[in-house]
A and B are shown apart, each in its own frame.
Chain A
Amino acid sequence: MSRRLWVVAGVLVGTIAFSASAAGAVGETVGSCIFEELEEAQFDGIEGEGLSAVKNLKDRYKAGDEHAEEIKTDFEADLEDCIEAPNPILPEVTEIIWGGAAFVVLLALMRWKLFPVVKNLMEQRTQRIQDSIDDADRTRAEAMEVKASYEAELLDAKTEAARIVDEARQQAGVVRADLQARAEADIAEMRERAAADVEASKRQAIADLQTEVSDIALGAAEAVLAHNLENPEVQRQLIDDYINSVGAGQLGQQG
């Protein structure tokens, strides 16, 4: 950095010196310029030289000479060239010399006193920035560790949640299967019960019908028997048959 600074300073001083030499070659004051133009004035067709020529030009212009008017216009343009503003870029040579010297002195002072301070400040600032960067890196590393830990915990939580969901799904499946099995068993039982009820109803109807038929048949038989049993001879015959059967051992005994 120091070398680059000296190069810039050298270029700047060289430029100022070159400009100063050029300005010294062409530089003059407005008064001297106008005086020189008046002193050297000499016009075509106008008598005299210098101030007399200017006086004659004035007279002829006032007399209405057109040629004099043109010369007057040109001469005024030459004078106006003398009162143009000084060069805004190139100062006076002395000013350049004193300015350059001051600049060199100032540069030397800065190089001697200010630059070490600035350098020290810059180094301190650089160190602070580096420390901040290191802290940021460390904090970032810690944050990354925390993030990794959180991500691991999150992964564990997701895994646990997935396991719980899976278990819940399995349990739901088991419960659903159990309920379905129970429902099917209930349906089967209801069907069997309904079939049994139908069968029982059918049997009961058949039994009722048989009872009804037997009652009718027995009623008819009892009516016939009652009519026949009114006959004493029939009664006697029944008793005799009983006595004969008992005597022959044909009637069994009931306990």
Chain B
Amino acid sequence: MSERSVSYADAVVSVAKAEGNLDLVADELFRVARAIEGSDELRMTLSDRQIPAALRQQIVEDLLGGQAADITTAMVSMIVAAGRSSDIAGIARETVELNARERGYSVAEVRTAVALSDEQTQRLATALSAATGHQVDVKVIVDPSVMGGVVATIGDEVIDGSVRHRLSQLRDSL
């Protein structure tokens, strides 16, 4: 994590706390970052310095308007206008970490091939909390490369129960 991303995350957290909806902003920023990371076209457009910053901000507002909180839209617009859209994933991850740390939680980045239901997310958070010994805030990322199952990353710890991992083990054993 770069020093710059940490600074931006601190700014986002400060603004969100001032507005009183840090949990929502952190969660929405994480989702937006995942969406930008998952779309090459969008990522390249928002990172293109040939495009005026105002136009890139307008794109962000058009995409998020009405679907995210205003403060979240403003934070993303600010990051894009600053020309740091390529760092938005790291900023979002650090924001989530800071938010969880504020509440005494750890962030579990969970990758699955399909989206989890709320009930599955809740059960998974409970199971990971029991496995790690402290409260866990689950952030789900849909990643088809997982093929099936779940890969949970908590800090430096990885609990891999994915089909991809099992196939890799099978390949190694063969």
- B126, A238: Cβ atoms closer than 8 Å: no
Tell me which residues from 37 to 83 in chain B have a Cβ below 8 Å from any Cβ of chain A. Answer: none
Which residues of chain B (98-151) have a CB below 8 Å from chain A? Answer: 112-114, 116, 120, 123-124, 126-128, 130-131, 147-150
Chain A proximity of B163: nearest CB distance (Å): 6
Q: Which of B126, B127, B170 gathers most chain A CB within 10 Å? A: B127
What residue in chain A is nearest B173 (Cβ atoms)? A214
Determine chain A's interface SS by DSSP, over half rule: helix
User: How many whole Å from A231's CB to the nearest CB in chain B?
Assistant: 10
**B174 within 8 Å of A (CB atoms):** yes
Please give, as numbers and ranges, the residues of chain A lying within 8 Å of B152 by CB-CB distance.
246
**Given A218-B171, A254-B160, are A229 and B113 also a contact pair (CB < 8 Å)?**
yes
A225 interface residue (CB < 8 Å to B): yes
Which residues of B lie under 8 Å from residue A241 when comparing CB positions?
149, 161
Contact B120 A239 (CB under 8 A): yes
CB-CB < 8 A to B147: which residues of A? Answer: 225-226, 229
Does A240 interact with chain B (Cβ within 8 Å)? yes
Q: Is B167 an interface residue (CB 8 A)?
A: yes
Contact A243 B174 (CB under 8 A): no
- Assess whether B159 is interfacial by the CB under 8 Å rule: yes
Cβ contacts under 8 Å, A238 to chain B:
148-150, 161, 163
A31 at the interface (CB under 8 A from B): no
- State whether A229 touches B160 (Cβ < 8 A): no
Q: Mark B150-170, 1 if CB is under 8 A from A, else 0.
A: 101000111111010001001
The residues of B that contact A222 with a CB separation of less than 8 Å are 167
How far is B162's CA from A251's CA once the two chains are assembled, in angstroms? 11
Contact residues in A for B126 (Cβ distance below 8 Å) = 247
> Does B158 contact A246, Cβ atoms closer than 8 Å?
no
Q: For residue A246, give the distance in angstroms from its CB to the closest CB of chain B.
A: 4
A247 and B161 within 8 A (CB): no
Partner of B163, one of A214, A225, A247: A225
Shortest Cβ distance from B23 into chain A, in angstroms?
23
Closest to A247 in B: B127
Partner of B120, one of A213, A214, A243: A243
Which residues of chain A are within 8 angstroms of B148 by Cβ–Cβ distance?
Answer: 225, 229, 234-235, 238
Residue ranges of B at the interface with A (Cβ–Cβ < 8 Å): 112-114, 116, 120, 123-124, 126-128, 130-131, 147-150, 152, 156-161, 163, 167, 170-171, 174
Q: Supply 30 A–B pairs (Cβ within 8 Å), ascending by A.
A: A218-B170, A218-B171, A222-B167, A225-B163, A229-B113, A229-B147, A229-B148, A234-B148, A235-B148, A238-B150, A239-B150, A241-B149, A244-B127, A245-B161, A246-B127, A246-B131, A246-B159, A247-B123, A247-B126, A247-B130, A247-B131, A249-B131, A251-B131, A251-B159, A251-B161, A252-B159, A253-B158, A254-B159, A255-B157, A255-B158
**6 residue pairs, one from A and one from B, having the closest CB atoms:** A214-B174, A247-B127, A242-B161, A246-B127, A242-B150, A254-B158
Known interface pairs A239-B150, A254-B157; 20 further A-B residue pairs with C-beta atoms within 8 A, sorted by A's residue number = A213-B174, A217-B174, A218-B170, A221-B167, A221-B170, A235-B114, A236-B120, A238-B149, A239-B112, A239-B114, A239-B116, A243-B123, A243-B124, A243-B150, A246-B128, A246-B131, A247-B126, A247-B130, A253-B158, A253-B159
